[in-house]
Structure 1
Amino acid sequence: MFSFFKSRRKSEQYEMIDQNVLEENISQSRSSSDSQSSVVFEDIENYTNKSKETKNDFYNDPIFHSILSRYKNQGIKKSIISIISIVFVLLWIIGVIVYSQLSPKQLLNKTKWQTNIKLFGQNITLNEYNSQFKNITFDNWRNGDYMTYQESITWLTPEQYPSGNSGGYYITPRKDQFLLKQINTDFEDIIINSRKFPYKNNFFHISDIIINPSKSIEELNNNHIIVSDKLAQWRHSTFALYWLYNPILATYTPIQPPNVETNVLEKLHFAEFSPDGNTVAFAFEHNLFVHDVSTGEVHQITNDGSTNIFNGKPDWVYEEEVTANDRMIWWSPDSSKFIFVKLNDTNVQSVDIDYYIKQNTEIGMQYEQSNEKQYKNLNQYPIKTSLKYPKPGTNIPIVSIYTYDVKSKKVESLSDKDKTLGDEFILYQAIWVDNDNFLMKQTDRTSKLFARKVFNGNEVTRIESFNVTGKYGGWVEKMKPINLAANGGYIDNCFENGNNYICLFDKAASAEPKIFNKYPTISEGIYNNQHNCIYFLTSAKSAMDSHLIGVNINTNEYIEYTSLNEDGYYSTKFSKNGQFLSLKYNGPNQPWQRLISMTELHEQEKEHVEHTILEQPIINFMDKSLKNLENTNIPTTTFNEIKLEKEDISISIKTIFPPGFNPEFKYPLLVHAYGGPGSQTVQKQYDLGFLDVASSTLNSIIFVIEPRGTGGKDWKFKSYANNNIGYWEPRDIKLITSEFISANKFIQKNKVAIWGWSYGGFTTLKTLEFDNGEIFKFGVAIAPVTNWLFYDAIYTERYMNKPQDNPSYNVAQISKVENLKNIKNFLIMHGSADDNVHVQNSMWLMDKLNLANIHNYEFHLFPDNDHNINYHNGNSFVYKKMLNWLQNNFSS
Structure 2
Amino acid sequence: MSEDRAGATRDEDSPAAALLHNEVTDLERISDRHFHSRSRQLLDKYIKVGVILVLLVWGSLLTIKTLKRSDQDGLGKPRFSFPNPDVTLEGKLKVSFDNVRNGTFVPKTHSIQWLEYAAKGDDDMGLYVTWEDESYVIKSVSDKTFEKVLIDGKTFVKDGHNFTIDNIVASPDLKRLLIKTNTAKNWRHSTIASYFVYDKNENGFTHVGDNIAYAEWSPNSVDVAFVQDNDIFIHSTAAADGLSAQRVTFDGSTQIFNGRPDWVYEEEVLESDKALWWSPDGSYLGFLRIDETDVNEFTIPYYAQTEDSIYPEMRSIKYPKSGTPNPEVDLLVYDLGNQSTYQAHIPKYFGDPDNVITEVVWVGHEHVIAKVADRSQDTLKIMNINAADKTTAVTRTESSEGGWWEVTHSTTHIPASPKFNRKYDGYIDILPVNGYNHLVYFSPLNASEPVVLTSGKWEVVDGPAAFDFNTNKVYFISTKKSSMERHLYYVKLDNPRVVHKVTDTSKEGVYSASFSSSARFALLSYNGPKVPYQKIIDLRSEKKEKKPEGNVVGETLYYIEKNKKLSGLTKKYSIPKKRFSKLNLGKDENGKDIVVNTFEILPNDFDPTLKNHYPVFFYAYGGPNSQQVIQSFSVSFNEVVASQLGAIVVVVDGRGTGFRGREFRSIVRDNLGYVEAQDQISAAALYSAKPFVDADKISLFGWSYGGYLTLKTLEMDAGKHFKYGMSVAPVTDWRLYDSVYTERYMHTPQENEHGYQRAKVSNVTAIGGAQRFLLMHGTGDDNVHFQNSLKFLDELNLGNVENYDVHVFPDSDHGIRFHNANKIVYDRLFNWIKHAYMGTYLL
TM-score, normalising length: structure 1: 0.79
User: Residues of 1 paired with 2:331 and 2:82: CA distance?
Assistant: 70
Partner of 1:381: 311
Partner of 1:246: 199
CA deviation digits over 1:552-603, x for unaligned, max 9? Answer: 2223443111233321111111123221111111111111111111111598
CA deviation digits over 1:781-826, x for unaligned, max 9? Answer: 0000000000001111111111111111011111100112221111
For 2:561, what is the secondary structure of its paired residue? Answer: coil
Given candidates 549, 554, 566, the residue that maps to 2:489 is 549
Partner of 1:568: 509
Partner of 1:57: none
Mapped pair 1:207 → 2:166: yes
2:289 maps to amino acid: K
- Contact 2:329-2:347 at 8 Å conserved across structures: no
Give structure 1 stretches of 5+ with no counterpart.
1-97, 112-127, 257-265, 360-376
CA deviation digits over 1:720-747, x for unaligned, max 9? Answer: 11111011111000001211221x2221
Partner of 2:52: none
For 1:697, what is the secondary structure of its paired residue? Answer: helix
2:218 maps to amino acid: S
Mapped pair 1:491 → 2:491: no
Post-superposition offset of 1:203: 2.5
Post-superposition offset of 1:684: 0.7
Post-superposition offset of 1:193: 3.1
For 1:492, what is the secondary structure of its paired residue? Answer: strand
Mapped pair 1:512 → 2:459: no
> Measured at CA, do residues 890 and 178 of structure 1 come closer, stay the same or move farther in structure 2, by a change above 3 Å?
farther
Given candidates 267, 272, 292, the residue that maps to 2:216 is 272
Partner of 1:183: 141
- Contact 1:151-1:171 at 8 Å conserved across structures: no
2:309 maps to amino acid: N
Post-superposition offset of 1:314: 0.8
Give structure 2 stretches of 5+ with no counterpart.
1-67, 73-77, 417-424
Mapped pair 1:445 → 2:375: yes
Mapped pair 1:591 → 2:511: no
Greater alpha carbon shift after TM alignment, 513-522 vs 648-657: 513-522
Post-superposition offset of 1:761: 0.2
2:676 maps to amino acid: E
For 1:872, what is the secondary structure of its paired residue? Answer: helix
Output aligned runs, 1:687-702, within 5 Å: 687-702=634-649
2:103 maps to amino acid: G
> Measured at CA, do residues 630 and 284 of structure 1 come closer, stay the same or move farther in structure 2, by a change above 3 Å?
same
Partner of 1:132: 91
Mapped pair 1:425 → 2:361: no
CA deviation digits over 1:7-35, x for unaligned, max 9? Answer: xxxxxxxxxxxxxxxxxxxxxxxxxxxxx
Mapped pair 1:155 → 2:114: yes
For 1:721, what is the secondary structure of its paired residue? Answer: coil
For 2:107, what is the secondary structure of its paired residue? Answer: coil
For 1:833, what is the secondary structure of its paired residue? Answer: coil
Mapped pair 1:291 → 2:250: no
- Contact 1:110-1:662 at 8 Å conserved across structures: no
- Contact 1:230-1:240 at 8 Å conserved across structures: yes
Given candidates 145, 149, 169, the residue that maps to 2:104 is 145
Runs of 4+ in 1 over 6 A off after TM superposition: 105-111, 602-609
- Contact 2:359-2:409 at 8 Å conserved across structures: no
- Contact 1:559-1:606 at 8 Å conserved across structures: no
User: Residues of 1 paired with 2:347 and 2:714: CA distance?
Assistant: 50
Output aligned runs, 1:206-605, within 5 Å: 206-213=165-172, 215=173, 217=174, 222-248=175-201, 251-256=204-209, 266-295=210-239, 296=242, 297-358=244-305, 378-416=308-346, 418-420=348-350, 422-456=352-386, 457-468=389-400, 471=401, 473-487=402-416, 488-518=425-455, 520-525=459-464, 526-556=466-496, 557-600=498-541
Given candidates 570, 577, 581, the residue that maps to 1:636 is 577
> Measured at CA, do residues 311 and 828 of structure 1 come closer, stay the same or move farther in structure 2, by a change above 3 Å?
same
> Measured at CA, do residues 890 and 579 of structure 1 come closer, stay the same or move farther in structure 2, by a change above 3 Å?
same
Structure with more relative contact order (C-alpha pairs < 8 Å, separation 6 or more) = 1
- Contact 1:834-1:865 at 8 Å conserved across structures: yes
1:660 maps to amino acid: D
For 2:375, what is the secondary structure of its paired residue? Answer: coil
Q: Percent of aligned pairs with the same residue?
A: 33
User: Residues of 2 paired with 1:200 and 1:699: CA distance?
Assistant: 61
Given candidates 722, 734, 753, the residue that maps to 1:776 is 722
2:719 maps to amino acid: G
Post-superposition offset of 1:762: 0.2
User: Residues of 2 paired with 1:566 and 1:857: CA distance?
Assistant: 46
2:130 maps to amino acid: I
> Measured at CA, do residues 485 and 305 of structure 1 come closer, stay the same or move farther in structure 2, by a change above 3 Å?
same
For 1:716, what is the secondary structure of its paired residue? Answer: helix
For 2:750, what is the secondary structure of its paired residue? Answer: helix
- Contact 1:651-1:705 at 8 Å conserved across structures: yes
Partner of 1:74: none
For 1:882, what is the secondary structure of its paired residue? Answer: helix
Partner of 1:114: none
1:358 maps to amino acid: Q
> Measured at CA, do residues 131 and 609 of structure 1 come closer, stay the same or move farther in structure 2, by a change above 3 Å?
closer
CA deviation digits over 1:805-857, x for unaligned, max 9? Answer: 11110111111001122211111111111000000000000000111111111
User: Residues of 2 paired with 1:183 and 1:130: CA distance?
Assistant: 47
Post-superposition offset of 1:194: 2.2
- Contact 1:224-1:246 at 8 Å conserved across structures: yes
Post-superposition offset of 1:101: 8.8
- Contact 1:169-1:180 at 8 Å conserved across structures: yes
For 1:342, what is the secondary structure of its paired residue? Answer: strand
For 1:836, what is the secondary structure of its paired residue? Answer: coil
CA deviation digits over 1:695-738, x for unaligned, max 9? Answer: 11221111001111110110010111111101111100000121
- Contact 2:545-2:555 at 8 Å conserved across structures: no
> Measured at CA, do residues 461 and 109 of structure 1 come closer, stay the same or move farther in structure 2, by a change above 3 Å?
closer
> Measured at CA, do residues 672 and 107 of structure 1 come closer, stay the same or move farther in structure 2, by a change above 3 Å?
closer
Structure label with greater radius of gyration: 2
For 1:886, what is the secondary structure of its paired residue? Answer: helix
User: Residues of 2 paired with 1:621 and 1:563: CA distance?
Assistant: 18
Greater alpha carbon shift after TM alignment, 688-697 vs 410-419: 410-419
Q: How many residues align?
A: 740
> Measured at CA, do residues 668 and 277 of structure 1 come closer, stay the same or move farther in structure 2, by a change above 3 Å?
same
For 1:353, what is the secondary structure of its paired residue? Answer: strand
CA deviation digits over 1:41-100, x for unaligned, max 9? Answer: xxxxxxxxxxxxxxxxxxxxxxxxxxxxxxxxxxxxxxxxxxxxxxxxxxxxxxxxx9x9
Partner of 1:3: none
Output aligned runs, 1:17-56, within 5 Å: none
Greater alpha carbon shift after TM alignment, 195-204 vs 871-880: 195-204
Post-superposition offset of 1:315: 0.6
Post-superposition offset of 1:251: 2.8
Partner of 1:64: none
2:463 maps to amino acid: E
- Contact 2:536-2:556 at 8 Å conserved across structures: no
Post-superposition offset of 1:378: 2.6
- Contact 1:540-1:564 at 8 Å conserved across structures: no
- Contact 2:169-2:179 at 8 Å conserved across structures: yes
User: Residues of 1 paired with 2:750 and 2:150: CA distance?
Assistant: 57
For 2:354, what is the secondary structure of its paired residue? Answer: coil
> Measured at CA, do residues 500 and 522 of structure 1 come closer, stay the same or move farther in structure 2, by a change above 3 Å?
same
